[in-house]
Amino acid sequence: MVSKQILSVLQQVKDGALDIENAYEKLKICPFEDLGYAKIDHHRTIRQGTPEVIYGAGKTAEQIEGIIHSLLSHSPQNILITRLSEESADYLSQRFSLTYDSLSQIGVVNRLKLLTTSGTIVVATGGTSDIPVAEEAALTAEVLGNKVERLYDVGVAGIHRLLSHADAITRATVIIAVAGMEGALASVIGGLADSPVIAVPTSVGYGANFQGLSALLSMLNSCASGVSVVNIDNGFGAGYLASMINHIGGNES
Amino acid sequence: MVSKQILSVLQQVKDGALDIENAYEKLKICPFEDLGYAKIDHHRTIRQGTPEVIYGAGKTAEQIEGIIHSLLSHSPQNILITRLSEESADYLSQRFSLTYDSLSQIGVVNRLKLLTTSGTIVVATGGTSDIPVAEEAALTAEVLGNKVERLYDVGVAGIHRLLSHADAITRATVIIAVAGMEGALASVIGGLADSPVIAVPTSVGYGANFQGLSALLSMLNSCASGVSVVNIDNGFGAGYLASMINHIGGNES
Amino acid sequence: MVSKQILSVLQQVKDGALDIENAYEKLKICPFEDLGYAKIDHHRTIRQGTPEVIYGAGKTAEQIEGIIHSLLSHSPQNILITRLSEESADYLSQRFSLTYDSLSQIGVVNRLKLLTTSGTIVVATGGTSDIPVAEEAALTAEVLGNKVERLYDVGVAGIHRLLSHADAITRATVIIAVAGMEGALASVIGGLADSPVIAVPTSVGYGANFQGLSALLSMLNSCASGVSVVNIDNGFGAGYLASMINHIGGNES
Amino acid sequence: MVSKQILSVLQQVKDGALDIENAYEKLKICPFEDLGYAKIDHHRTIRQGTPEVIYGAGKTAEQIEGIIHSLLSHSPQNILITRLSEESADYLSQRFSLTYDSLSQIGVVNRLKLLTTSGTIVVATGGTSDIPVAEEAALTAEVLGNKVERLYDVGVAGIHRLLSHADAITRATVIIAVAGMEGALASVIGGLADSPVIAVPTSVGYGANFQGLSALLSMLNSCASGVSVVNIDNGFGAGYLASMINHIGGNES
Amino acid sequence: MVSKQILSVLQQVKDGALDIENAYEKLKICPFEDLGYAKIDHHRTIRQGTPEVIYGAGKTAEQIEGIIHSLLSHSPQNILITRLSEESADYLSQRFSLTYDSLSQIGVVNRLKLLTTSGTIVVATGGTSDIPVAEEAALTAEVLGNKVERLYDVGVAGIHRLLSHADAITRATVIIAVAGMEGALASVIGGLADSPVIAVPTSVGYGANFQGLSALLSMLNSCASGVSVVNIDNGFGAGYLASMINHIGGNES
Amino acid sequence: MVSKQILSVLQQVKDGALDIENAYEKLKICPFEDLGYAKIDHHRTIRQGTPEVIYGAGKTAEQIEGIIHSLLSHSPQNILITRLSEESADYLSQRFSLTYDSLSQIGVVNRLKLLTTSGTIVVATGGTSDIPVAEEAALTAEVLGNKVERLYDVGVAGIHRLLSHADAITRATVIIAVAGMEGALASVIGGLADSPVIAVPTSVGYGANFQGLSALLSMLNSCASGVSVVNIDNGFGAGYLASMINHIGGNES
Amino acid sequence: MVSKQILSVLQQVKDGALDIENAYEKLKICPFEDLGYAKIDHHRTIRQGTPEVIYGAGKTAEQIEGIIHSLLSHSPQNILITRLSEESADYLSQRFSLTYDSLSQIGVVNRLKLLTTSGTIVVATGGTSDIPVAEEAALTAEVLGNKVERLYDVGVAGIHRLLSHADAITRATVIIAVAGMEGALASVIGGLADSPVIAVPTSVGYGANFQGLSALLSMLNSCASGVSVVNIDNGFGAGYLASMINHIGGNES
Amino acid sequence: MVSKQILSVLQQVKDGALDIENAYEKLKICPFEDLGYAKIDHHRTIRQGTPEVIYGAGKTAEQIEGIIHSLLSHSPQNILITRLSEESADYLSQRFSLTYDSLSQIGVVNRLKLLTTSGTIVVATGGTSDIPVAEEAALTAEVLGNKVERLYDVGVAGIHRLLSHADAITRATVIIAVAGMEGALASVIGGLADSPVIAVPTSVGYGANFQGLSALLSMLNSCASGVSVVNIDNGFGAGYLASMINHIGGNES
């Protein structure tokens, strides 16, 4: 695309439709057109084809409000707000049509209907304490237009619970395995499935879990092929990546 | 699939085509048929649709030879041997038709022609020292039937080298970013691309890289969306996962 | 026992059979009688009821020979030598009736027939690379008079291999789970079994396994009840502890 | 047991007592019968022969109430609730016959009289600050039907305090050694005892104890045989495992 | 300077202008003249040619007031107070002419007009969350008499934002790169610039960033030449060092 | 002493002054006489010749009150309470003649006049934030009968402040060096002094000090001879050890 | 410069001197002209104004020879080879006019006479074992045209050795402080000097230095202002950065 | 001493016995007189009253020879060489009257008879593998004129071995406790003794001892008072410090 823009500018210069100074300005910014809009990267929305995402942690409700206004003024896109506190959600829901899930702390503004993928993303957790992170992943994937199936509390200490869902696992296009403590879920699922497994270590546990380190190292050392890992508690990242992969297979006809 | 097998066994019992003892045996093993073959998991080859992989490190040439014989006696599949020393490769090449790459230490036995994917996997490295790990990824992906494009030595300290290949990056279906030291390559590529990025930290570096820890942590904390991480120096894992993802898009017509 | 010895000494003093100075000497050392024998703790053999164990790593063949001579001069007990190099084993086998296993690097001298336990110890490994550590555990347990059943290469990435041995696991009195990499084997076995699981992390793996740290943390954080952990690669410790537990159930009648 | 269930289902199919669809349902769930009850694993209670355990941390009083109701509706078993806050205990004690110990934060509901083991579990602590974790272990073991003897504040810096209880230590069937700071208690007890020692590192201490890491590493490196380790502050896990081991020796006649 | 002072004292002794006891006192303290003023090091102000700096964290408003009084009584210098809470700032602003920036928590008292450097310090951040640390650096540098240019939110995941400011980067005399998460900003800027880059890792992020460790290690392993690193979140240190370097080039004429 | 007690008991048995059962009881407890007093170790007070110390952290005011009552009922010794909160100090000072220092959080009850050592302990700190830990050390040493000299805020970044006190350092019998951040004070003092240096790392600092780890490692690696290290923030331990060493030189005549 | 190139290309297109396809090619590569030369980045030599640097570790003598040939074919610049083994140096010195220093393992090819800076770089070490790293820094700086003064073995355990060189330290434009073990040298020099201090932690030491971690953390936590840190043992990086800073002050007239 | 030197110089100036230039020179170097002798610090020998110590690791035999020559040319002192390889010892023993101990790798040159201390240093080890480090400590202390008593292999897993030596421990003036693995020896000895305990963690062990980290943390967290810690494997440091402390009590009359 960038190449096309350069060629087009050059053609216009040759045709005299554009003088050199303006062409220079265009060329300098062509891949960076968004930079005129300061901190908010409208360009990226287009380039990556996804809703804009606001990381809510550490931002005031007013700051988030400002960013939403700026985004909405530019295009009628979907906006996903992660790690949004209940207080901020209350504030924002009085100003925008906000859908909010308090468990995963995800808010969605101005929801457009997206095409849905033909493939399914399975989101599995080891325990019930992992569910908030899993919901961050699942809701992110749903906002991005994916079919999502949840398998919660299927940890390896009761392996029969997981095995009874072997069908869902083998049918999935992508699987997100969310687990704290020993993080073994990713390996077991990785051994059952033929599809990519995105492992999300959580900080669930205590003592020698060292705030998620145990699950993180466990997942990085998975003896199963097809497993990769995102940051501790990074449900959003897993959901976003799963959506990327799931869209390779296209949408429902 | 498992459900169908159970139903079929039950039908045969009802029809008298199968007695209870044999039905029991069938039911016990039906998802585990391979277990009759001791350590070698032929079943997995079928279930996951991929060549068998032998992890060569810590195995003698004779042990690897034995495993290959066992595998070949079962089906004429492709066999990928990772971390294969040059000495073992010499030994094996006198007994099988082995293709060996000394840089990545990968050997391939009995190569069948696979269909090739329509999508492309880009394998990029930060420096020249990361190339052996990258080749492990690239060759793994090629053996698994993928088109692979290599972008080596495009590290972020000379960002123009990477940007000049922006086309390849934006066209790729999956990207493998291999980097040691500060591991920033994954984030920069993640920011440029719309496709999944598999980050492979390498142990390249010294001092405070702590055998790959710096790149590992850097990649796990990537501010770019769509990036996931495999183990330090795990080129094979990245190549295998990239192939999984790339096959979602199907093969060349 | 200590109480009885004190009472006996006092009785002899009262009876005039022992003068005060000698009684003092006896009392001072009675729980420490072995201290007269310098470094070798014959006392412990009696107190703990087990063969003497020599940690062979870092000792010359001649040093081990000396210790064996000293032990044998005291009682005709079994002697277990762990981490015994093949060179030292050659040297010692010319001087004693030594049984040596090169895989686990365990040597046994002067083997007495022990009663065998009624219960069984299952030793399971995640992969084939974990077998040397597992054999150290298994042979230790056998020398200590236990029935041992081996389940090797039943790692969680191919969970069906493990499940096909569910019978052995549920019948065991104690289970030793030996695994490197993500160490998930302990949790899965812990979920299947009603008996104590001794988890042995191994240093098998590379990169972010950090010489066994990943498996260690994973096992310490096991979500399954009944799992405890010994040091990385400590097969001997696991075998010794398993024997202690297994003997609570008594010997075969 | 699983085998028997499969055989029985098959026999019923053959006899016409069961049609295929129902047999399929039975076979699918037979080892997983509990899965119909969503998150609550009634099956496990039976399989592992122990009271149900609820991990109270991070659950509201209402959530715990719901789980208790579900469990009680299924069978009149004992229910152990660990890490139960005083507030939640107040709430629950108005609804169930709850026994609550505020030191260990353990609650017990609907206590059935269990047979008592013939062997004794000794629970020892290094200091007084380790007592809450020790009580979690001791109460867990008592609820599970064990005789428990407490030896608190017998840390190694005043070794005579420990030695004066040598009798209790040598008579025990299992010993739980609970200690923070340098965690040396496990090694000293391990050297005195002939029975298994379960070491529980605690987070008691400050500075270079790094939230329990010092005691954890110390215990993992114990030079005494027969010592294994559970997670930092995991009193429940130690009590549960000790009960498993103690029950190998049978109950009081 | 020290040499001159010693020579001068000696000359006075020789001339009889100073007796031996007083000369001794002078010589003992000559390089340490400030020590007479207890904790406040007036000497250093002169020796290092910079405003006095008060580290406000962990000091009460009254303590800071006392130190300011002591400093002001000695010379009419500028005083920079870092990590000054809003409450303390309120208190102090009623007593001194204090300029306070709540974002960076920096206060300045009694501002003298300093000469301004001819060179420029660029302060760049990876994200908006890094701005408080960046402002600590920028304001410190401005108080010390430097021209400062801010480039905020130019992180590597959107590399075009950074590249559009390539001019500012190549013109700068010193650059301060402030980034959390993967800390890659320092390397990319280091590759673009010919001037020294001071990297400031921030604790921005979560999970495997381990409170800034990921950015710290990433920056220490930068493959770009000319990059050095200060402590996590140490904006003041970076601003102070940048000022030192920038002053080598002299002031505006 | 233990030997003498044993001999004396034996003599009494021989003389008929003691029957065997009572003699046994005496012998069993002779070195452990204190154990009859449950948790409070009166024995140790005598054996180690020092005031009793109560670690106040994590104990309620009432618990501390109980321990003090128990101790006072036994002998009129001095009692040192470390890490005593201001609230607890208020409570206790209404019941005992308590001296309390809020900076170091040290309380002293029932102060007997001790002989004073002939030697001096110097307590030095790197900065003012290290003073609370230093005072814990200094007050501990004073309560134990030592002359103490304080050198506060003499950190290495202004080395002249330290050097101007070289006399005090060279005259000291023992030196306690208290420092956070880079912890270099211990090495510099170690190079100046001929006497033992006890280094106390503090958790003062932020970022890459990792709660005192930087100072701890720095001090353990001191290139100066005669330096040893206690736990992070362990002022009491340093004061106690310094007192032990200082008393080797005897008291003032 | 880039802007000028873009303008020039546009002018040529307007003038018809360049057709669109060729202009496109030019524009695509203009900031990346060097990319035509594969791995060797001639462009960077010009942009950054410094000799080309080859990192010799892990490259064969033949590979280094090839790179030198390529560089020399392009311009008669100086070439600095770091971490060059003695064997490779022997090989290269038969082919190029190589100057080699075996202590620092630095080789220089084809040395042009550079202008010398007016300012001086002081390179100081804590001990004699730090000298190889220091020489890597010092020689790098000299090759880059700087005056260098060496102060070796002036560690803080003998602070008088350092103080006797206070003059050199206060006169320096930049100081490189190289130290292992406790790394305190950087702080002490930072307190004495008014100029930037580049701290180089070395891996010199053993035990709790953890391969340089102690010095690294110590230096990052320096309480002296004006100190920044490079990677462990990174003498080259320090020398290169020091040269950058020193050149701000210009060359000798 | 320094004060006296200054006063003396001033007196000579006043008396005209010294001109100003020479006085200046004298004053500048008076505390640093040794600096004229380059790297070898003769001054320190006098100031600290101990033999010169050469750290042999990483020095060639020729380098050590040179240092010895330089030292001997200055005074007939004792010279202690630590970590001296057997090869270097052979070389040096042909040139000097060298006493060499291959276990501790300590060499002593030109041994003068020193006065012996009245107090005794006890050196204890946990196991036999700790003896080399212990001998480094013991020989260092003997060369420095101390009486030394060795208690080897008295680790806490067989606590009776240690207790049988309680007399030696209570009589000692200083105790050096050398232990690897769990490092509990220091705490147990600290609880038995009234004298200072210098704890030396060793790297003996494997797995989760992490090269001595387990013993180091254990010792730093000792619950016994009077314990301080030196670097891992630092026998010399412990011996040197113990000698300092032991000399406070004076020499044998």
For residue H18, the chain E residues in CB contact (below 8 A) are none
Pick from G184, G190, G221: CB nearest F187: G184
Instruction: For residue range C91-111, list pLDDT tens digits in order.
Output: 999 999 999 999 899 999 876
* G35/B153 Cβ within 8 A: no
| Predicted local confidence at residue H81, as pLDDT | 92
The residue that leads in pLDDT, E221 or F18, is: E221
Pick from G3, G11, G20: CB nearest A10: G20
Length of chain A as a residue count: 253
* H34/G207 Cβ within 8 A: no
D81-109 burial, b at 16+ Cβ within 10 Å, e below that, comes to bbbbbeebbebbeeebebebbeebbbbbb
Angle (CA) C152 C155 C156, round 5°: 155
Sign of the alpha-carbon dihedral angle for A24, A30, A31, A33: positive
* Chain D interface with H: residues with Cβ < 8 Å: 126-127, 155-159, 163, 180-184, 186-188, 190-192, 205, 207-210, 213-215, 217-225
Highest mean pLDDT among B19-23, C49-53, G107-111: G107-111
- Distant-in-sequence, close-in-space partners of B141: CB < 8 Å, separation ≥ 6: B121, B123, B148, B176, B239, B240, B242, B243, B246
The DSSP secondary-structure symbol of B196 reads: -
First to last CA, chain B: 28
For residue E228, the chain G residues in CB contact (below 8 A) are 198, 228-230, 237-238, 241
- Return mean pLDDT, chain D: 81
Closest CA of chain D from F57, distance in Å = 10
Closest CA of chain C from A158, distance in Å = 5
| Predicted local confidence at residue H240, as pLDDT | 94
* D244/C195 Cβ within 8 A: yes
F204-237 burial, b at 16+ Cβ within 10 Å, e below that, comes to bbbbbbbbbbbbbbbbbbbbbbbbbbbbbbbbbb
Quick one: average pLDDT of G228-251?
Answer: 94
In D, minimum Cα distance to F27 occurs at D164
The residue that leads in pLDDT, G200 or B5, is: G200
* F212/D208 Cβ within 8 A: yes
Q: Which chains touch F (3 or more CB pairs under 8 A)?
A: C, D, E, G, H
Q: Which chains touch G (3 or more CB pairs under 8 A)?
A: A, B, E, F, H
The residue that leads in pLDDT, F51 or B105, is: B105
- Return mean pLDDT, chain F: 81
- Return mean pLDDT, chain C: 81
Q: Is the pLDDT of residue E122 over 60?
A: yes
Pairwise CA distance, residues H239 & C25, whole Å: 33
Q: With a cut of 50, which residues of chain A have pLDDT below it?
A: 1-3, 28-48
Closest CA of chain B from A97, distance in Å = 26
Task: Tell me if residue B53 falls in helix, strand or coil.
Answer: strand
Pairwise CA distance, residues H63 & H110, whole Å: 18
The residue that leads in pLDDT, A194 or C22, is: A194
* H164/C35 Cβ within 8 A: yes
Instruction: For residue range F57-102, list pLDDT tens digits in order.
Output: 878 888 888 888 877 876 667 888 999 999 999 999 999 999 999 9
The residue that leads in pLDDT, E159 or D29, is: E159
For residue F20, the chain C residues in CB contact (below 8 A) are 7, 10-11, 14
Best mutation site among G170, G248, G251 for testing chain E: the one with the most E CBs within 10 Å?
G248
| Predicted local confidence at residue D39, as pLDDT | 36
- Distant-in-sequence, close-in-space partners of F16: CB < 8 Å, separation ≥ 6: none
For residue C211, the chain H residues in CB contact (below 8 A) are 207
Q: Residue E99: beta bridge partners?
A: E108
Q: Residue C229: beta bridge partners?
A: C199, D229
DSSP G32-88: GGGGGGTT--HHHHHHHTS-EEEE-TT--HHHHHHHHHHHHTT----EEEES--HHH
* D184/H184 Cβ within 8 A: yes
Pairwise CA distance, residues D204 & F57, whole Å: 11
The DSSP secondary-structure symbol of E231 reads: -
The residue that leads in pLDDT, H167 or F178, is: F178
Angle (CA) C105 C110 C114, round 5°: 95
For residue E225, the chain B residues in CB contact (below 8 A) are 157
* H164/C232 Cβ within 8 A: no
| Predicted local confidence at residue E13, as pLDDT | 66
Quick one: average pLDDT of H216-228?
Answer: 91
Which H helix or E strand runs over A178? Answer: strand A174-179
Pick from D31, D231, D234: CB nearest A160: D31
For residue D10, the chain B residues in CB contact (below 8 A) are 10, 13, 20, 23-24, 27
* B237/A225 Cβ within 8 A: yes
For residue F30, the chain C residues in CB contact (below 8 A) are none
Q: Is the pLDDT of residue G152 over 60?
A: yes
In E, minimum Cα distance to A25 occurs at E164
| Predicted local confidence at residue H2, as pLDDT | 41
Pairwise CA distance, residues F29 & F47, whole Å: 15
* D153/F233 Cβ within 8 A: no
Pick from G47, G166, G195: CB nearest E2: G166
Instruction: For residue range E86-97, list pLDDT tens digits in order.
Output: 999 999 999 999
Q: Which chains touch H (3 or more CB pairs under 8 A)?
A: C, D, E, F, G
ipTM greater than cut 0.85? no
Quick one: average pLDDT of F222-247?
Answer: 93
The residue that leads in pLDDT, A37 or F206, is: F206
Q: Is the pLDDT of residue E162 over 80?
A: yes
Best mutation site among B2, B30, B32 for testing chain C: the one with the most C CBs within 10 Å?
B32
The residue that leads in pLDDT, A60 or E220, is: E220
> Is B23 within 8 Å of D23 (Cβ atoms)?
no
In G, minimum Cα distance to F227 occurs at G157
> Is B141 within 8 Å of B123 (Cβ atoms)?
yes
Chains H and E touch (3+ CB pairs under 8 A): yes
